[in-house]
Structure 1
Amino acid sequence: MIPGAETPDRRGRTGLHLVGRDLDRNPDVVVRDVELLSADWYVLRATTYEHRQHDGTVTTERRETYDRGDGATVLLYEPARRTVLLTRQFRYAVYVNEHPDGMLLETAAGLLDDDAPEEAVRREAAEETGVEIGEIEHVFDVYMSPGSVTERLHFYAAPYAGTPGGTRAGIAEEGEHIEVVELGFDEALAAIGTTIVDAKTVMLLQWAALSGPFSAPPA
């Protein structure tokens, strides 16, 4: 038996094989079985369900889902100088999938754990950048990879104070070695698709340009 079902996993969780069995919000989908595949830290499940199609036929499908909890991210910006504050850190998942060195430029982000989204994003901004941030604006909530990952990401934006430029941050005990990178907003926007290839960062930069703090042309 995989830990996390009847026996606790290393985070003390049980009952992870029951999640999703009681779903009934969609009358065309009936969950028949949930198999716990792994709960080493996050949770991998295989769910078998019946799905009634538009023509009335019923198919049986089996899908794997990866549950790492929900997260939050924030675009930190300084409107007077037209700058944004990003982080650069090593991400093995992109490194193994053809990113040149795995050092990804991205907005500050992290999992909610047991915090509300706004509390979590303030925590992550402080840990990953070390700057003081102002009033937080909620932008939108998005499912980032709905084919297999359950995570819903809460997007925020907030002004920041100070010019850290090149400082280091992160919690070393958690394996975080983060470089804080300040960029001109126009430079960051132009870098989309080249040096900025992280989805949440691209989305927040485009929001900032279309309807956010940099939507109006510079005076």
Structure 2
Amino acid sequence: MTAGLDTPDRRGRTGLDRHGRDLTGNPRVRVRDVEVLSCDWYVLRRTTFDYQHSDGHWSREQRETYDRGDGATILLHNAERRTVLLTRQFRLPAYVNGHPDGMLIEAAAGLLDGDAPEEAIRREAAEETGCVIGVPEPVFTVYMSPGSVTERLHFYAAPYDPVSATADEYGHGVAEEGEDIATVELPFDEALAMIRSGDIADAKTIMLLQWAALDGPYGHPGPPSSPVP
């Protein structure tokens, strides 16, 4: 008997090796086998499949996928002050892969954990920044690392009240999960400059800041339309 397959793992899951076996959307892909390599918390699978190449021949392939569930992220902005509210927290994977101290400046984010994306991001914004937001604006939904990670990330934006922002104070986040999150309020132009300098190196945050500069609350108005003769 194997935890996560025949018996519940520590998160109560079974049948984790059946995920992805019945996909039929692409006739050039035939899934042959799914193995669970790890399900300590998230799920690492190895999938064996046949793939038909563009020239018509088939090959047997294997890929590992890391399933941590889908997530959501949000850019909190204040147009009147022309600021954004971000977070700073320690990220071990970045630290072990070259970041000087592992302390990344990021947009608030978190996993859906079974909630709808809009509900989840309202929860995460409150947990990580202390801000209670209204209805968030959907921006886009993307796969962040499609070569190995299954996660889809739902991007949102929403205005925040500066009265509720407690910048540079640690203590946000869920203590039981080891979170120790500071909020960082920045002028928007400074945040953009921090992308260029490398001080902001988190992909989701860069995407949201660039969206804000192009199409969002700090976007430049388009060229005036030509007068009708």
| TM-score of the two chains, using structure 2 as the length reference | 0.93
Which moves more between the two structures, 131-140 or 25-34? Answer: 131-140
One-letter amino acid of the counterpart of residue 204, structure 1: L
CA RMSD, aligned part only? 1.0
Match of 2:207 in 1: 203
Q: Does 1:187 align with 2:190?
A: yes
Deviation at 1:2, TM superposition (A): 4.1
Q: Which of structure 1's runs of 4+ aligned residues deviate more than 4 A? A: none
Deviations 1:164-191 (A, max 9, x none): 2212311111100001100000000111
One-letter amino acid of the counterpart of residue 71, structure 1: G
Which moves more between the two structures, 88-97 or 130-139? Answer: 130-139
Specify the SS of the correspondent of 1:98.
coil
Using the aligned pairs only, state the percent identity: 69
Deviations 1:18-57 (A, max 9, x none): 0011011000000000001000000000000000111110
Deviation at 1:135, TM superposition (A): 3.1
One-letter amino acid of the counterpart of residue 174, structure 1: E
For residues 7-22 of structure 1, the aligned pairs below 5 Å read 7-22=7-22
Specify the SS of the correspondent of 1:192.
helix
Deviation at 1:214, TM superposition (A): 0.3
For residues 66-77 of structure 1, the aligned pairs below 5 Å read 66-77=66-77
Question: 2:184 & 2:133 partners in 1: Cα distance?
Answer: 16
State which of 160, 172, 176 in structure 2 corresponds to 1:173.
Answer: 176
User: Where does structure 2 lack aligned partners over 5 or more consecutive residues?
Assistant: 222-229
User: Where does structure 1 lack aligned partners over 5 or more consecutive residues?
Assistant: none
Specify the SS of the correspondent of 2:159.
strand
Question: 1:106 & 1:90 partners in 2: Cα distance?
Answer: 11
Specify the SS of the correspondent of 1:209.
helix
Deviations 1:49-100 (A, max 9, x none): 0001111100100000000000000000000000000000000010000000
| TM-score of the two chains, using structure 1 as the length reference | 0.97
Specify the SS of the correspondent of 1:89.
strand
More strand as a share of residues: 1
Question: 1:164 & 1:170 partners in 2: Cα distance?
Answer: 13
Which moves more between the two structures, 185-194 or 34-43? Answer: 185-194
Deviation at 1:138, TM superposition (A): 0.0
Which moves more between the two structures, 159-168 or 197-206? Answer: 159-168
The number of residue pairs the alignment matches comes to 217
Task: Give yes or no for contact 2:122–2:132 (8 Å, CA) kept in 1.
Answer: no
Q: Does 1:216 align with 2:220?
A: yes
For residues 1-219 of structure 1, the aligned pairs below 5 Å read 2-162=2-162, 163-168=165-170, 169-193=172-196, 194-216=198-220
